[in-house]
Amino acid sequence: MLDSCRLAKRRSCACRPTRSLFAVGALFALVLASGTLLAGGPSSPSGVKGKVSGWEKLLPQVYAEVAKPDSHRFTWREPSPTVKQDFRKLSANVTRDVCVVAFGEGDAPAHEPKVVKVTGGRITPSTIVLSPGSRLSFKNTDPFPHQLYEEKNPAWAVNPTAPGSTREWAAGAPGLHVIRDMLFPSVVMYIFVDAKAVEFDFPDREGTFEMNLPPGTYTLKAFFEGRPTGKPMDQVKVEAKGLELKEPLAVGGDSK
């Protein structure tokens, strides 16, 4: 009786490695199948990558206004000779003041809601292009209130925005909309509303931008202070694999 039990126990132990190997093999096959399914799933959105150039030629209007002698807003001093010549000239901040936009052939849906920051005497970003129905949230990150309003729009009149709070704005009529602050003249934002604006992006410090776009034909334009600037790129064809522009999008100078 005892020998029979020992023999049964040995047989049971001998079967365990086989079952374990079978379980590992099944799990490995499942992982491979999952990988195959993921690889065959829907591809990520195509897009366009590129760079802008010439933004150092752009001068924000707020800088030009404060430089006037009768403005009495800043004291302009001679730059130190130790400061590089590139930094002595006032120019646009490409990450804040330039917006690259892709225009399609038909009407575009509303963009995802975007938060813009009011801080340090400026609004970031200072210019943007949206399709109708898009929404912006103006967030006051300063420790004091702002009194924002939209020019020529009584429906968005002066209203205090406390520190840490937000104020909503919705894109309606096509064209240029200008947001200002009653207390701080340098706080200004230019919003251009266009039904064909499919997507937008703000370049980084090096001028690089990237937009996710469905395959199609687009016109790329750079906007500065709510208006096109530089030379647009027409008939930009984006395929499913995406597109990387060979030539930079020039933003300095007048739009043609």
CA-based radius of gyration for the chain = 29
The whole-number pLDDT of residue 19 equals: 45
* Amino acid in the structure at residue 177: H
The whole-number pLDDT of residue 73 equals: 62
Summarize the confidence of residues 31-40 as an average pLDDT.
39
Instruction: Calculate the average pLDDT of the chain.
Output: 83
Closest to 126 measured CA to CA, from 176, 190, 79: 190
More confident residue, 253 or 217: 217
* Amino acid in the structure at residue 185: P
Q: CA dihedral in degrees (131, 142, 69, 61; nearest 10)?
A: -10
pLDDT level of residue 2 (50, 70, 90 thresholds): very low
Instruction: Kindly state the helix (H) or strand (E) to which residue 32 belongs, with its residue range.
Output: helix 2-39
69-89 CB burial, b ≥16 within 10 A, e <16:
eeeeeeeeeeeeeeeeeeeee
Instruction: Using a cut of 0.85, tell me whether the model's pTM lies above it.
Output: no
> Are the beta carbons of 96 and 122 closer than 8 angstroms?
yes
The whole-number pLDDT of residue 82 equals: 81
Tell me the per-residue pLDDT of 209-240, one tens digit each, with 9 for 90 and over.
999 999 999 999 999 999 999 999 999 999 99
Extended beta strands in 157-242, E state: 159-161, 166-170, 175-181, 188-193, 197-201, 208-212, 216-224, 227-238
Question: Cα separation of 176 and 226, whole Å?
Answer: 6
The whole-number pLDDT of residue 59 equals: 85
| Bridge partners (DSSP) listed for residue 124 | 117
Question: Cα separation of 87 and 233, whole Å?
Answer: 30
Which residue, chain included where needed, has tokens 């251009």?
192
Backbone angles phi, psi at 140, to 5 degrees: -85, 105
The answer to whether residue 36 scores a pLDDT higher than 60 is no
The class (CATH top level) of 47-250 is mainly beta
Give the pairing of strands 47-53 and 249-250.
parallel
The answer to whether residue 199 scores a pLDDT higher than 70 is yes
Domain ranges of the chain: 1-41, 47-250
Backbone angles phi, psi at 24, to 5 degrees: -65, -40
